[in-house]
Amino acid sequence: MDMETENWAGTAMRPVGLIIRQKDPNNLEMPFDQLGDFITPSELFYIRSHFPTPELDPGAYRLSIGGAVRNELSLRYADIRAMPSRTCVATLECAGNSRVFLVPPEPGAQWELGAVGNAEWTGVPLFVLLEHAGLADDVCDLVLEGADRGVPKEEPKPPGPISYARSIPRTRAMEPDVLIAYQMNGQDLTPDHGYPLRAIVPGHYGMASVKWLTHIVAATQPFQGYWQTSDYGYWDDSEGTPVRRPLAEMKLKSQIARPRVYERLEPGRPYTIFGAAWAGVTDVIEIWISLDGGSSWVQGEFLDPISRHAWRRWKYDWITPAQPGRYTLLARARGADQRAQPDGHNANFGSYVIDHPLPIEVFVAAP
């Protein structure tokens, strides 16, 4: 069987572990050339940790819901497992995914393409819990806090250890697809992925899907925590003087999974370029590929239907050039809002939101 023409999807590639980007806490990415099925196997799903993984006993575990609520709740793991559940497929991308492509380099884990994955999540819709608790009328933000804790590094930084926490707006929190999840791809969460419970906020960068979730706090003012301001924030200059805002929804993005950077391809042969595209607030409706570093573009085809908040895998059947040499491939998606990925990185996002077409240099050479 011809590997080059069979490489686009569904090949029986076994999971082969992860790439270390930071050790202790573990920050590991998927070798993105291993992209296969629509659903990313759990063992290939990227691991993003701010602090050492907390070891939580499901018997002693409690999820508290407090703040501006009528009924404070303290839920056991078993309580959550006993409630009606919902399952959804959502792509999670780390806001710093593809950071290694930034020139000059930006601080932080030098993620390449693999800090993104698409999984099936099962849990209790957050709005159900919030209705039990009874939100006060003036609640605007729901703060999600995890059991992971430590001293963060970005400036300005707090004076001592803090727990990882992010908020989402009340309107988003009340939508039925936001989950307090206990399963990933039909199996209980592993410690690295947030056991026993984590939030899943489809469409948002991964930082919103707080792992090892222990506290939900209903807030009547927008939350101004460290990971909402110092880190995972950006400068919004759309109205003149730049103001600091929290990152939220994933931007439209596409990535080439195969070939991988510096892969060597035979000249004049069929090769199926294969990748995925996703977006937080629109649907991906077109995928364009450049085989010449951006001078010209051809359209690829999708392998998956539109499914809000899940990626769409795509392919393009290429005949490699007869002329040996170095070629730069790019992919650029277009959304239902008629916007395409931008030409370059927006510096207002600092070391985050690397959503421009990412160059994949390959060599065409005789074997």
Sites of contact with a copy of itself (CB under 8 A): 3, 14-24, 28, 31, 33, 43, 47, 100-103, 105, 110, 112, 259-264, 362-363
Q: Which is nearer to a copy of itself, 66 or 152 (CB)?
A: 152
Shortest reach from residue 302's CB to a copy of itself, in Å: 24
Tally of CA atoms within 13 A in the half-sphere of 120 that contains its CB: 10
Shortest reach from residue 17's CB to a copy of itself, in Å: 3
The dihedrals phi and psi of 193, each to the nearest 5 degrees, come to -105, 10
Q: Which is nearer to a copy of itself, 30 or 133 (CB)?
A: 30
For 237, counting Cβ atoms within 10 Å of its Cβ (0-12 exposed, 13-18 middle, 19+ buried), the class is exposed
Q: How many CB atoms lie within 10 A of CB 241?
A: 7
Q: Which is nearer to a copy of itself, 132 or 260 (CB)?
A: 260
Shortest reach from residue 29's CB to a copy of itself, in Å: 10
For 309, counting Cβ atoms within 10 Å of its Cβ (0-12 exposed, 13-18 middle, 19+ buried), the class is buried
Q: Which is nearer to a copy of itself, 26 or 85 (CB)?
A: 26
Shortest reach from residue 2's CB to a copy of itself, in Å: 12
Give the torsion sign (CA, 222, 224, 225, 231): positive
Query: Token pair for residue 95?
Result: 């806001």
Of the candidates 40, 93, 33, 13, the residue with the CA atom closest to the CA atom of residue 272: 33
Cα three-residue angle 336-93-216, rounded to 5 degrees: 105
Shortest reach from residue 336's CB to a copy of itself, in Å: 31
Q: Which is nearer to a copy of itself, 20 or 136 (CB)?
A: 20
> How distant, in Å, are the alpha carbons of 52, 67, 149, 198, 237 from that of 224?
24, 15, 17, 21, 19
Query: Token pair for residue 130?
Result: 């919030």
Shortest reach from residue 333's CB to a copy of itself, in Å: 21
Q: Which is nearer to a copy of itself, 45 or 223 (CB)?
A: 45
Query: Token pair for residue 307?
Result: 């499914």
Shortest reach from residue 111's CB to a copy of itself, in Å: 10
Q: Which is nearer to a copy of itself, 175 or 263 (CB)?
A: 263
Shortest reach from residue 100's CB to a copy of itself, in Å: 5
Compute the distance between CA of residue 340 and CA of residue 290 in angstroms, rounded to an integer: 14
Compute the distance between CA of residue 121 and CA of residue 90 in angstroms, rounded to an integer: 7
Give the rounded distance of the alpha carbon of 53 from its chain centre. 19
Shortest reach from residue 268's CB to a copy of itself, in Å: 18
Q: Which is nearer to a copy of itself, 279 or 364 (CB)?
A: 364
Q: Give the DSSP H/E element, type plus range, for residue 79.
A: helix 77-82
Q: Which is nearer to a copy of itself, 105 or 222 (CB)?
A: 105
* Cis peptide bond prior to 324, omega within 30° of 0: no
